[in-house]
């Protein structure tokens, strides 16, 4: 497949909260467009990700969606993914990061932890299994906003299946630190994309 990327490359950061939070190094050469439902972080676009169909089509080369997809009900996820397809160019891709619930369950079992026991310390404070499953409780309580809550979850297998069923048949995944990362394409990725993420084989 030929390299169909155009310059300048644009990445839509869906639910990224603030541009003060750096993107991964793969996006160094991309124009960073921040979309968020919460105007507090001064996003470029204030929009619910379930309403991406209201934006202009085919404007972005990439979508970066870090710990946001789990904030929608399971029945809404296909609609969000359809919105991703809508705003992506044909050669574009989605880069999704979500909690790994399979790894979470294994960790709780192996370490004999309860839901409210400490899993790890984060910059925001102590994190429990309840925070991973349902969203960071202190943030939800302080904000009074339920859009900070988690409403669905994924294992590596279920995320791959969901992406393939809803318009992204080429899926590459990695796991670690209670997280799944997926890079997914609607058509076979070209050499540029493979090099950008060091993609070896589809999941």
Is there a domain that residue 45 lies in? yes
Q: Which residues pair with 179 in a beta bridge?
A: 99, 176
Is there a domain that residue 2 lies in? no
Q: Residue 65 belongs to a domain with what CATH number? A: 3.40.50.150
Helical H segments across the chain, by residue range: 77-87, 101-111, 129-134, 137-143, 156-165, 191-197
Overall size of the chain counted in residues: 203
CA-closest candidate to residue 197, choices 21, 34, 64: 64
Provide the greatest CA pair distance for the chain. Answer: 51
Residues of the chain with confidence (pLDDT) below 70? 1-7, 201-203
pLDDT tens, position by position, 117-142:
999 999 999 999 999 999 999 999 99
Is there a domain that residue 190 lies in? yes
pTM over 0.85: yes
| Residue-range definition of the domain harbouring residue 87 | 10-99+152-197
Is there a domain that residue 61 lies in? yes
What is the strand order of the sheet 88-99 is part of? 45-46, 31-36, 10-14, 60-66, 88-99, 179-185, 170-176
């Amino acid at each position: 497949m030929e390299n169909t990327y155009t310059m300048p490359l644009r990445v839509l950061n869906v639910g990224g909260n603030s541009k003060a939070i750096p993107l991964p190094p793969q996006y160094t050469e991309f124009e960073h467009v921040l979309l968020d439902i919460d105007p507090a972080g001064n996003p470029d676009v204030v929009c619910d990700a379930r309403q991406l169909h209201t934006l202009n089509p085919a404007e972005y080369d990439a979508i970066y969606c870090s710990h946001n997809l789990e904030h929608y009900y399971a029945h809404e996820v296909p609609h969000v993914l359809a919105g991703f397809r809508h705003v992506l160019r044909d050669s574009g891709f989605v880069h999704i990061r979500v909690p790994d619930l399979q790894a979470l369950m294994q960790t709780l079992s192996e370490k004999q932890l309860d839901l409210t026991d400490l899993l790890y310390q984060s910059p925001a404070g102590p994190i429990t299994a309840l925070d991973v499953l349902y969203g960071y409780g202190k943030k939800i309580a302080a904000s009074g906003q339920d859009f900070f809550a988690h409403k669905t979850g994924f294992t590596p297998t279920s995320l791959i299946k969901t992406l393939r069923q809803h318009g992204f048949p080429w899926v590459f995944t990695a796991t670690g630190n209670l997280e799944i990362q997926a890079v997914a394409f609607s058509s076979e990725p070209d050499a540029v994309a493979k090099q950008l993420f060091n993609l070896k084989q589809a999941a």
